Amino acid sequence: MSRETFNHHVDDLLRGMVGAGSSILAFAVSQLETIEAWLRIASLVVGIAVGIASLISIIRRNFKRP
């Protein structure tokens, strides 16, 4: 494969990536409120899980000490 052909393929690949990326970004912007709500729910669930894991760790540590 010549260098010119390789550069042409790379150029086509980059154009495709930019096109797909801009389409995904446009969709994400149009669904921003929905995405934001799910992100808030996910962060709440993760926060609760970390809190429960911390509580379990503290309880276990206190029961192991004589």
Q: Three-class SS string for 1-66? A: CCHHHHHHHHHHHHHHHHHHHHHHHHHHHHCHHHHHHHHHHHHHHHHHHHHHHHHHHHHHHHHHCC
For residues 26 and 36, membership in a common domain is answered with no
For residues 8 and 38, membership in a common domain is answered with no
Which residues constitute the domain of residue 15? 1-30
If one counts the domains in the chain, the total is 2
For residues 21 and 36, membership in a common domain is answered with no
For residues 37 and 59, membership in a common domain is answered with yes
For residues 11 and 36, membership in a common domain is answered with no
**52 vs 1, higher pLDDT:** 52
**pLDDT for 63:** 85
Contact 28, 35 (CB under 8 A): yes
pLDDT band at 66 (very low <50, low <70, confident <90, very high): low
For residues 24 and 13, membership in a common domain is answered with yes
pLDDT digits (tens, 9 = 90+) for 14-51: 898 999 999 999 988 898 888 889 999 999 999 999 99
The reported pTM is 0.54
For residues 37 and 13, membership in a common domain is answered with no
**pLDDT for 5:** 85
